[in-house]
Structure 1
């Protein structure tokens, strides 16, 4: 177990990523910035959309760190240990987001946990399909949302998931489905070490 944690660098990368995640939750809160949009001119996008990126990137980095020879002959189920790490980090981040949102009385901050689950699932699917370049899929999704995810009047399309309000049932369902699909892909179709 200890070799797995050291090989993944989970003991150094994830505490830093979670610390940055917590700092960004407090700093950004409901702040927004005007960004150009292809569908609605200029839109006001909350900076909280970008908060999960360092955490998801850190998690992807940990999953990409491996001891290829040891893992190809390992008796322990490394794929399940990796999936457990993903679940633990994602649930912890969602709990941090919920607590920060309640403490700061900011629904946008509370929604960051849902967005983290969505982007983590997207990253897992991207890694399985495209390898290391697939970790850029969450960032590409955020850029697509910013560029063409809003109607005039700063109203987000339902497919965007990320800028939807906290109580939107389709956004919660979409995030849970993406996270679940990402875990299934991680367990069943992840690239074998070579």
Structure 2
């Protein structure tokens, strides 16, 4: 129980999940025109931004730790953190799928996949850069918005996030990124202190 309280998972993650579900319902297939560095402007769906609060909340939970106690702990804290990451990811995928079915919006269905991708990216960046690494998912989204579209609003395959729900390369990329992030979290994560 001390681990849950130390991570603030009982307060931060429920709030982030409620915001996640609220954004799923509010944004749906809405889009906005954003300027593009590759010329013109791109019609970007607002659903690209839905994973940010949940991924940020997870990063906040992972960054709140008791370094001295955890470095000498008998309990496998890294595996507990890995379980927390997996639970949040599964919850994001399930809520996204349920919202897509309930609202009849395929764009909302991609939010679960995008959450997996951005969570994996965040975990790898945190291991490499510490706390500032939690900003990399947001930087990825901005990079996609600014230079991830060809003329005609066609997304490049490397962007992953704006790809349609049935795109196999986007699903594979998201699963690979999440898997790599989870392995890095369990094996190589460093304490933020």
Give the TM bin, normalised by the shorter chain: over 0.9
The yes-or-no answer on 1:16 pairing with 2:40 is no
TM-score relative to the length of structure 2: 0.99
Instruction: Give yes or no for contact 2:110–2:165 (8 Å, CA) kept in 1.
Output: yes
CA offset digits 1:93-146 (Å, max 9, x no partner)? 110000000110000001100000000000000100000000000000000000
Instruction: Give yes or no for contact 2:127–2:189 (8 Å, CA) kept in 1.
Output: yes
Instruction: Give yes or no for contact 2:131–2:192 (8 Å, CA) kept in 1.
Output: no
CA offset digits 1:22-55 (Å, max 9, x no partner)? 0000000000000000113111000000000000
Q: Mind listing any 5+ residue stretches in structure 1 that lack a counterpart? A: none
Distance (Å, rounded) in 2 between the aligned partners of 1:154 and 1:192: 41
Instruction: Give yes or no for contact 1:123–1:134 (8 Å, CA) kept in 2.
Output: yes
Tell me what 1:95 maps to: 94
Tell me what 1:7 maps to: 6
Distance (Å, rounded) in 2 between the aligned partners of 1:78 and 1:192: 11
- Structure 2 CA distance for partners of 1:146 and 1:3, relative to 1, 3 Å: same
Match runs of 1:153-172 below 5 Å: 153-172=152-171
Q: CA RMSD in A?
A: 0.8
Instruction: Give yes or no for contact 1:40–1:154 (8 Å, CA) kept in 2.
Output: no
Q: 1:69 offset after TM fit, Å?
A: 1.4
Match runs of 1:102-117 below 5 Å: 102-117=101-116
Distance (Å, rounded) in 1 between the aligned partners of 2:81 and 2:46: 30
Q: Which runs of 4+ in 1 moved over 3 A?
A: none
Query: How many residues are paired up?
Result: 193
Distance (Å, rounded) in 2 between the aligned partners of 1:132 and 1:124: 10
Instruction: Find the residue that maps to 1:40 and give its secondary structure.
Output: coil
Tell me what 2:143 maps to: 144
Distance (Å, rounded) in 1 between the aligned partners of 2:89 and 2:192: 24
Instruction: Give yes or no for contact 1:110–1:166 (8 Å, CA) kept in 2.
Output: yes
Q: Mind listing any 5+ residue stretches in structure 2 that lack a counterpart? A: none
Distance (Å, rounded) in 2 between the aligned partners of 1:72 and 1:187: 14
Instruction: Give yes or no for contact 1:71–1:193 (8 Å, CA) kept in 2.
Output: no
Instruction: Give yes or no for contact 2:7–2:62 (8 Å, CA) kept in 1.
Output: yes
